[in-house]
Structure 1
Amino acid sequence: MNNRICDVLDIEKPIIQGPMAWISTAPLAAAVSNAGGLGVLGVGFAPLDFVKQQIMQTRQLTDKPFAINTIMIPENLEAITEVIREMLPPVIYADSLQGLKSDLCSKYFSLWHSFDCKVIVKASCIEDAINAEQGGADIIIVKGWEGGGHVTFEATTVLVPQAVDQLHVPVVAAGGIADGRGMAAAIALGAEGVEMGTVFMAASEASIHLNVKESVIKAGDMSTIITGYSTDEPCRQIKNKLADEMTEIEALNTKAVAAEKLRPVAESSLKKAMMDGDMEMGAVMVGQIVPLITSIKPVKEIIDGVIRETKERLEIISKYKFN
C-alpha cells in the first residue's frame, strides 16, 4: 500500500520539517527536501520580500517539493495569496490558532489549489481539523502540547487517534517526535507521517547560532517551560533568564497587566537567540523531546536514521506476543 503523504506531496519519505521562524530558512528546508522529506520555510510573519527571496533561494538549492507556511488569520492571507500566485510554491502549510473556520479555509484553499498548490493545515484541536478538511485541506497535521513554540491543549497520543477516526484525509502527527520510536508510535496511533521540528534545530544545515545548537544537545529532562499564558498564545522554550523573568511577570500581575508587560521583554527574543546566540535573554523554543537530541548531524543522517529506526521498531512490534 502506498503512503498517502508521499503520494499527495510527491516526496519519498513521510517526514515534514516543522516551520520555525529564524531557523527553517532556505538551507534547512532545501536540505530536508533533498533528503526525501518536505522542507518548510518558516516565513509566517515575515515581510513579503523576504518570503519571495526565500522561495527563490530554496529553488536554487533543490528541485524537490517544499512548502511555505502562513498563518490563518484574515489580515495575513490576502497579501500572502498574491505572493503564492506569483511564486507558485509547491505546498502551502497553513498554521492555525484555535478557532479555525471552514469558510475561511474554503475561500483560500480553493484559491491556492487553483494555483496547483497542495495545502497542509496544522490544527490544535479536532474541531479545527474537521473544519480544515471541510475547507479542502489535502493533509492535516495535529500537534500535541509536547511540541516546542506555540503550545496546544492536548497530548499527541490524544489528538492523533481522534483525528484518524474522524478525518478522511491523511493525518500527520506532531509534538514529541524526534526519532524512529516516536514515528513508530505515531504510525501505531494511525498517523501516516510525522512532523519534527526540534531535532532539525541541531541539523548541520540550520543557519542559526552555534550556541543554540549546543543548548539543544545539552538540554535534559524538565529543561523546558511554558511562558506567555497571559497572552493567550503560550510558548514552550528552554528555561533561562528570559523565561524566569516572564514567569515572574505573570505570577505578580493580573492577566491583562502581565500581557502588556511581557511584550517588551519577549520582543525580538527569538532573533536574539537564533542570530546573536544570546542564551540568557533569547528564546529557544523546543519541544519536550529535546533530551533525545544529543549531537549535531546532517539533515540526511537525521531523516535516514529516523526511517531506519521506525522500520526496526515496527518489525519488533509485529513480533510482540501476548500470553
Structure 2
Amino acid sequence: MNRFCKAIGVENPIIQGPMAWISTAPLVAAVSNAGGLGVLGVGFAPDDFVIQQVAETKKLTTKPFAINTVMIPENLDRLTGIIKSINPPVIYADTLGELKLELCEKYFEIWHSFGCKVIVKAGDMETAVTAEKGGADALIVKGWEGGGHTAYEATTVLVPQAADVLSVPVVASGGIADGRGMAAAIALGADAIEMGTVFMACSDAAVHPNVKQSIVDAKDMSTVITGTSTGEPCRQFKNKLSDKMETIEAENVRAKAAELLRPVAESSLKLAMIEGDMENGAVMAGQIAALIKEIRSAEEIISTVLSDAQITLKQIVNFSFSGKESTYE
C-alpha cells in the first residue's frame, strides 16, 4: 500500500493544494470524492467562514479532507481554538520563514489529540526536517515552479533530498499537472504529489470563468515572480498588476518596496478569482499552466494523472541506455 495513502487515509496519492478563493467546499469535496485529499484554502479566513466551509464540505463528502493554516503563532492560536469543534480529518500547515521546533511540537501534539493528521509544506530541507522532528505525519516539499508563495529550489532538487533524509511520506509539489510529472516525482523518491494550478482550471472550482480560461490560454513564460522584497515571493501571471509590482521593486530600496507593495497586493487575489479581473487581479498560477489545455472535472483530472503516470512508468522500463537494442525488466 502507498505510504502516503496509509498515513493519511486516502485512496489516491494526490493532494489538491489550498488556494484562497478557489479551494472552497465544492472543489475540495470533488477532489476527496475522487480519492484524493481536498484542502480548504482557509489559512487566514475568519472563524465563521472556516466553520461554514468545513460544515459544507462534510455535507458533500464522507472522505478525508484538510483545512490549511500558516505556522505563525497568532494564526495557530486562533484556529486551534475551533479545530476541536469542527474536527477536520487533516491539518495542512503552510510555512513562511523560519519554522520553530517548539511551535511544531506544541500544536502538532494538540491537533493529534483531536484525532487530526498533520501535513506540513516546506520550501527547504531545514524546514522539512524541523517539521518531521515536530511530529508531522507527511511532508510536502514545494519547488519554485509552483504558483503562489514560492521557494528558491527546484522540485527536482528538493524531492530527492527529502526522500534521502525524511522517514515520513514525501509529497512532491511545484510543476506537476499530469501523469508525466507524477511519474517523475515518483522516480525522484516521492510517495505522492500535490497539484494546484490544474485545479484552478477545474469545472468543480467556484471561481470566475476568466480565471479558468486564463490557465488554459497560458504560455511557458506567462508567470513572473513578485514580492521578493517582502521576503515572501509569489509566482503569478504577468499582467498590469505584476508590472506595477515589478516597477515598485525596481525603483525602491527593499524595505520601501515592501511597504509600497502591501496595499497594491491587498485584495488583488479576490479581484481576479471572484470578479474576473485578469489585469488588475492576482492569478497565482505555476509554470505548469502552459501544459493545461482544457477545463476538466476533479475526477477526470485525478483519474487521468494516475493512469498516465502508470503508463509512463511502464514505458520507462523499456528506456535504452545504449546504442544496442535491449530491454530492462
TM-score range, shorter chain: over 0.9
Secondary structure of 1:94's aligned partner? strand
CA contact (8 A) 1:144 1:157 kept: yes
TM normalised by structure 1 equals 0.99
- For 1:132, the equivalent position in structure 2 comes to 131
Indicate the residue corresponding to 1:35 in structure 2.
34
- Which secondary structure state, in structure 1, belongs to the residue aligned with residue 119 of structure 2? strand
- Give the structure-2-normalised TM-score: 0.97
- Aligned residue number for residue 24 of structure 2: 25
Report the CA distance between 1:41 and its aligned residue: 0.1
Equivalent residue, structure 2, for 1:174: 173
Deviation at 1:321, TM superposition (A): 2.6
Query: Could you say which residue in structure 2 is the equivalent of 1:244?
Result: 243
Matched, 1:274 2:281: no
Q: Does 1:223 align with 2:259?
A: no
2:117 matched to which residue of 1? 118
CA distance in 2, matches of 1:214, 1:299: 16
- Which residue of structure 2 aligns with residue 11 of structure 1? 10
**Separation in structure 2 between the aligned mates of residue 203 and residue 186 of structure 1, nearest angstrom:** 22
Classify the secondary structure of the residue corresponding to 2:287.
coil
Q: Name the residue aligned to 1:292.
A: 291
Q: Between the two proteins, what is the percent identity of the paired residues?
A: 67
Question: After superposition, what is the alpha-carbon deviation per residue over 1:185-206, rounded to whole angstroms, capped at 9, x for unaligned?
Answer: 0000000000000000000010
Tell me the C-alpha RMSD between the 2 structures: 0.7
User: Match for 2:320: what amino acid?
Assistant: K
Please give the alpha-carbon distance, in whole angstroms, between the structure 1 residues aligned to 2:251 and 2:168: 45
Deviations 1:286-307 (A, max 9, x none): 0011100111001100000000
Q: CA deviation at 1:228?
A: 0.7
Q: Which runs of 4+ in 1 moved over 2 A?
A: none
CA–CA distance in 1 between the matches of 2:150 and 2:189? 22
How many Å separate the matches in 1 of 2:132 and 2:97? 15
Q: What is the aligned length?
A: 322
Determine if contact 1:98/1:123 at 8 Å carries over to the other structure: no
Letter in 2 for 1:158: V
- Residue 144 of structure 1 aligns with an amino acid whose one-letter code is G
* Whole-Å separation in 1 of the counterparts to 2:163 and 2:262: 38
How far did 1:212 drift? 0.5
Per-residue CA shift, 1:12-61, capped at 9, x if unaligned? 11000000000000000000000000000000000011000000000000
* Match runs of 1:73-92 below 5 Å: 73-92=72-91
Residues 1:102 and 2:92 are matched in the alignment = no
1 CA distance for matches of 2:5 and 2:72? 28
CA distance in 2 between counterparts of 1:8 and 1:165 reads: 19
SS of aligned partner of 1:246 = helix
CA distance in 1, matches of 2:198, 2:222: 15
1:22 maps to amino acid: W
Query: What are structure 1's unaligned runs of at least 5 residues?
Result: none
Aligned-pair CA distance for 1:79: 1.5
